[in-house]
Amino acid sequence: MKLTVVQTAPQQCKSDLAVYFVRQGEKKKAPACHDREVDAMIGRAFAAGDFAGKEGETLLYYPAGDGKKNGATRVLVVGLGKEQPGRETVRKAAGVAVACAVKTKAVRLLLVAPELAGMKADEIGECLAEGVVLGGYRFLKYKSRQEDDEAPGRIDAVSFYSGKDAAATRRGVRLGRAAAEAACVARDMANEPANFWTPGHFAEYGKGLATRYGFRCKVLDKAAMRKLKMGGVLGVNQGSDEPPQMVVLEYRTGKKVPTLLLVGKGLTFDSGGISLKPAAGMGEMKYDMCGGAAVLAAMAAVGEERPKRLDVVAIVPATENMPGPGAIKPGDVITQYGGKTVEVLNTDAEGRLILADALAYGIEKFKPAAVVDLATLTGAVIVGLGHHRTGLLSNDDKLVERLLAAGERSGEPLWRLPLAPEYSKQMKSTVADLKNVDKRDAGTITGAAFLQEFVGKTPWAHLDIAGTAWDFTEKSYIPKGPSGVGVRLLVELIRNWR
């Protein structure tokens, strides 16, 4: 999808679909548009009771003539609602526009950026670009070729017009595109079936990023993990034929700046191991690598933007969790990186075991100023928060504030859950230093309490994305299936780091 910012007036800019955005009128008045013809059409639709400018409401019409007037074959008006529009409103409105374009099989779009109090032109351009790219996402790799009348519409080019603010809009579109395309990469990874996205594919992708952007990349294989005594990853991997990989990517500014460590769970398929999951829904366990996908995809955006205030290191421990003949058994004891022993009472609580190795290793090696891990860790977070908020647990209030702000700006909201000594006490074992599960109560919190044992005093936050990595809140720019959640949140965190 080609994105450009134009200065040609919309009336002279040729497109298959020109999109205007309007606020809902006050006191039963029709919404207003600066374009006379569009405004007149809105007035007629409003008088007929067909369009009031409510959020997400649309008005589609075909201008008179041959499409040269207004420069568009079709004109779409999208309502922004009565409340003061914010970033998410603009993002969703752009997603609505893309859905209409796909339905009408429009190939070339023109989006006329609205003027909104409280939002600058670059911010509006950023959110429009995000909504367009994210809303236009499709995963059709494994679909057989369809007949022309059945094939979904495909948008080739999108132009943005914002009057005198072209330079600011161009900056915003560039930012929006980088973050959204990275999120689409994460969606692609998650959509791949587990036989086509293995730990080895994580390693290949990491090496590719290193080549493209000049990152340092190190991949720890099984032999290296044995030497380092990473019993968490090795133990989870015992039942699988696919060898484990730990991908380590480093972006360096070359300056004396803080390091942010990102760790993502890369379980490319989770059967539950010996503690086998039920058959219903097990196919979704190819999504258990969404944390790792988010971390590596965010690094692609880092490579594009080259932040100056921060070094960024990403680690993805990747493996399958299978019930093969060598699989780890309930009651086994393993030794994590750094020497702590863990009694494995449930082999389906495997994510914390591989994350513990990665966290302990990354903190010891890179001495980061802060650490954020992302993982589809617990079903308990879905019970508590549904599919609308990502669970956030942390040992540092300042890092929490930064993440909450990034979640708000990206439209990927977080909800903080408590961490306290009483939860950590629940994770003590009678035969080892720790156990990997306790009773089901507060499962999301105790999962984080387990991870906390491996971060020491380093500022750390854990994001449990099990409820938002797929089946996220229905939005115009979020498809069914994997959402790519976490990518744009991390990009916002990095962009606004002070």
- Asked if residue 439 has pLDDT above 90, the reply is no
Q: Which domain holds residue 43?
A: 2-163
- Asked if residue 122 has pLDDT above 50, the reply is yes
Phi, psi of 331 (to 5 degrees): 100, -15
Residue 171 lies in a domain: no
Same domain, 340 and 480: yes
* Average pLDDT rounded to a whole number, residues 248-258: 97
Six token digits for residue 355: 């994350």
Q: What is the pLDDT of residue 105?
A: 93
Same domain, 40 and 83: yes
* Average pLDDT rounded to a whole number, residues 440-455: 96
Same domain, 192 and 159: no
Same domain, 235 and 155: no
CA dihedral sign of residues 33, 35, 36, 42: negative
User: What CATH code is carried by the domain that includes residue 228?
Assistant: 3.40.630.10
Same domain, 246 and 312: yes
Picking from 103, 132, 163, the residue at the C-terminal end of a domain is 163
Question: Counting runs of H as helices and runs of E as strands, what totals does the chain give?
Answer: 14, 18
* Average pLDDT rounded to a whole number, residues 464-471: 97
* Average pLDDT rounded to a whole number, residues 302-310: 97
- Asked if residue 149 has pLDDT above 70, the reply is no
Q: CA dist 450 to 233, 265, 332, 343, 361, Å? A: 15, 15, 17, 12, 16
Domain count within the chain: 2
Same domain, 111 and 221: no
Q: Which residues are catalytic?
A: 277, 352
Q: What is the pLDDT of residue 67?
A: 47
Same domain, 471 and 442: yes
Same domain, 453 and 329: yes
User: What CATH code is carried by the domain that includes residue 98?
Assistant: 3.40.220.10
* Closest among 375, 383, 184, 353 to 291, alpha carbons compared: 375
Residue 169 lies in a domain: no
Q: What is the pLDDT of residue 338?
A: 97
Mean pLDDT score of the chain? 96
Paired sense of beta strands 245-251 and 216-220, if any: antiparallel
* Average pLDDT rounded to a whole number, residues 487-496: 98
Of 83-87, 142-146, 412-416, give the lowest mean pLDDT range. Answer: 142-146
Taking only the tens place, the pLDDT of each residue in 30-85 is: 999 999 999 999 999 999 999 999 999 999 999 986 545 558 999 999 999 999 99
Torsion of CA 315, 316, 317, 322, to 10 degrees: 170
Q: What is the pLDDT of residue 154?
A: 84
Picking from 163, 191, 216, the residue at the C-terminal end of a domain is 163
Tally of CB atoms within 10 A around 347: 29
